[in-house]
Amino acid sequence: MSCAEVTSCNERPCEIEVVGLSRSFGKTVAVDRIDFRVGRGELFAFLGPNGAGKTTTINMLTGLLKPDNGKVLYHGELFDPKRLTVKQLIGVVPQHNNLDPELTAAENLLIHGRLFGMRGKQLQERIATCLNFADLTAKRDIQAGKLSGGMKRKLVIARALLHHPEVLFLDEPTVGLDPHSRRKMWAFLRRINQEQNCTVFLTTHYIEEADTLADRVLIIDQAKLVTGGTPEQLKAAVGNYVLDIYNEEEIQNEFFQTRPAALQRLEQLDTSVRIRETTLEDVFLKLTGKRIEP
Ligand SMILES: Nc1ncnc2c1ncn2[C@@H]1O[C@H](COP(=O)(O)OP(=O)(O)OP(=O)(O)O)[C@@H](O)[C@H]1O
Ligand SMILES: [Mg+2]
């Protein structure tokens, strides 16, 4: 891997540092010696196809899984999942909702708060604040199992925010949501990042999610990091404009730094051609030879 941006913190104080992190399951190498840093306050997306190693990585960053090798540091200190102070620092939204469907929205938060040592009026106020922030006040006494998919997802996020974490981890926050709910969730995650002053680390296999939402994107494929940087940097590295050249059986791509350069090339071609801006899907395809989204 060559991209210097992968290991920088985008000029912010370093919140998380990952060095040589690896994990295998039997003969399957799920995460293979990855290094990166996340800056304080960044909205950071870990983008990759199914089975790339995203959940395994997030599980090691949040203490759910032990690495075979390598280390994780928060604010320069080695991560010890048993220490309460670091547990207080992070909030986790797992890939699959793990609410208690029989309990109400408020009760789900109450149990979480107690686990974090919150009690009494302070806990009740915080539950009200988090439900309100997630636009779920009207649903506080509804059983979690009876909420819509988007509401359940928001409730899991509200629960993760309850103890004022500094870093919020979300594993595939919008999987299973329809396009409209997905866009609403993006706005919600932006608000968490900006209004709650939370560093946000999310995994996704949706190109558009990483592209529109993230300050910085790290691309992972087959357990290894492919590249990283801001969406603009990643696109500029392959060329900001692309020609889709329609041949008999396939579409060929040619990349150009500027639109005039792409247009000049287009005029030389006598086949069917389309000019468009480069996407992160093009970046992934160029670097790995595959598509992310099936
Ligand atoms: N508990 C486990 N036991 C055995 N293999 C596992 C286990 N967890 C993950 N793997 C394997 O490790 C690899 C990475 O899996 P991981 O869940 O981290 O991928 P992912 O990027 O989160 O994929 P998805 O987008 O489907 O959630 C896969 O080959 C997977 O089959
Ligand atoms: Mg996963």
CATH superfamily, domain at 4-230: P-loop containing nucleotide triphosphate hydrolases (3.40.50.300)
8 A C-beta contact, residue 185 and residue 177: yes
Question: How do residues 133-178 score in pLDDT, each as one tens digit?
Answer: 999 999 999 999 999 999 999 999 999 999 999 999 999 999 888 8
In this structure, which ligand is nearest to the CA of 51? Answer: 1
Report domain extents, the chain.
4-230, 234-288
Smallest CA-to-CA distance from 18 within 283, 221, 201, 157 is with 201
Q: What is the pTM of this model?
A: 0.92
**CA of 255 relative to ligand 1 center, distance in Å:** 33
| pLDDT score of 83 | 85
Q: Which residue's CA is the nearest one to ligand 1's atom 6?
A: 25
Question: How do residues 209-260 score in pLDDT, each as one tens digit?
Answer: 999 999 999 999 999 999 999 999 999 999 999 999 998 888 899 999 999 9
With a CB cutoff of 8 Å and minimum separation 6, the contacts of 162 are 91, 109, 112, 113, 116, 118, 126, 127, 130
| pLDDT score of 236 | 95
| pLDDT score of 271 | 87
Q: What is the mean pLDDT of residues 72-94?
A: 90
- Ligand 1 atom nearest the C-alpha of 53 is 18
Question: How do residues 43-80 score in pLDDT, each as one tens digit?
Answer: 999 999 999 999 999 999 999 999 999 999 999 999 99
Q: Which residue's CA is the nearest one to ligand 1's atom 30?
A: 51
Q: Which residue's CA is the nearest one to ligand 1's atom 1?
A: 25
Question: How do residues 115-144 score in pLDDT, each as one tens digit?
Answer: 999 999 999 999 999 999 999 999 999 999
> Which residue among 22, 32, 56, 225 is best mutated to probe the pocket of ligand 1, counting the most ligand atoms within 8 A of its Cβ?
56
Burial class of residue 166 (count of CB atoms within 10 Å of its CB; 0-12, 13-18, 19+): middle
Indicate if the pLDDT at residue 6 is higher than 50.
no
Q: What is the 3-state secondary structure (H, E, C) of 26-48?
A: CCEEEEEEEEEEEECCCEEEEEC
In this structure, which ligand is nearest to the CA of 204? Answer: 1
